[in-house]
Amino acid sequence: MKQETGVKGAERLLLVLTALASHGNAMSVKDMLAATGLAQSTLYRQVALLKRWGFVTEDAGFYAPGPVSLQLALGFDINSMLVEASRDGMMQLSCTTQESVGLIVAVNDQVICLEMIESTHSLRCSFEKGRAVPLRAGASAKSLLAFMSDKTRAETLERQFAGNDTARAAFEAELENIRARGYAMSDSEVDPGVWGVSAPVFRRTSRGAGASASITLMAPSSRAAGREQQLAERTVRVANAISARLQAS
């Protein structure tokens, strides 16, 4: 996670929680200092408060999300309209293709998996539920970026490509091609040997146009070879069906 400067008040608590949530395993104080950029005394105050309220737990000097964080996660699973509206379509897509399918969103310049339907193959690819990676490489990231609102995309790319106009222009041209095609495709951009295709999911929002999420199908590159277009078309159909369901609700 990029270090933060000038963070004040309650945002410091959120910064610590975000670091713990995105790290994937328990963190030492050294890990959290590197991830948050907070002063050590400030970090200790935030952690003590989060522990007292049950959002963080400690074991032998390592820190992880606590039981209240788990309650929040369970509440999200039960009540998320996006997840609920997407699950049937994701299961259908996974069943017909025999590949893993994820529901992916963009949060704080990261790609986060909200839901995952695993392939039945013994050799399979998955983007674990809750996993986060930078919002830049891979089919999921590019689909989300391509179909964001213009304002949000411009702000995101400014942070991603600060001072590198040439690279940004090339990346924007790639996103334009993705918008014209209707989906993003990648091979080994995030994990070696993993092919993916991602299509946007839209719903009505008060903030105007822009994708809410993407449906991403993942497969070993060797098994996707020769099936790319078929898998892409099926993924787009499912994403469109989920969008229609969300917009009708």
Residue 91 lies in a domain: yes
Rounded mean pLDDT of 205-210? 55
Question: Which has the higher per-residue pLDDT, 6 or 102?
Answer: 102
Q: Identify the CA nearest to 138 among candidates 188, 202, 192.
A: 188
- Give the tens place of pLDDT for each residue, 134-153: 888 999 999 999 999 899 89
- How far from chain centre, in Å, is Cα 249? 24
User: In terms of Cα–Cα distance, which of 152, 118, 117 is closest to 135?
Assistant: 152
* Domain span including residue 33: 10-72
Report the C-alpha gap between 38 and 46 in whole angstroms: 10
Residue 133's pLDDT is 82
Domain containing residue 24: CATH number: 1.10.10.10
Check pLDDT > 90 for residue 248. Answer: no
Query: What is the chain's alpha carbon radius of gyration, rounded to the nearest angstrom?
Result: 19
- State whether 52 and 87 are in the same domain: no
* Residue 4 within a domain: no
Distance of alpha carbon 24 from alpha carbon 14, whole angstroms: 16
Q: What is the pTM of this model?
A: 0.71
Query: Contact, 66 vs 50, CB < 8 A?
Result: yes
Domain termination residue (choose one: 28, 52, 72):
72
91-141 pLDDT, tens digit per residue, is 999 999 999 999 998 877 888 888 899 998 877 776 777 777 888 899 999
Q: Which run of H or of E encompasses 151?
A: helix 150-160
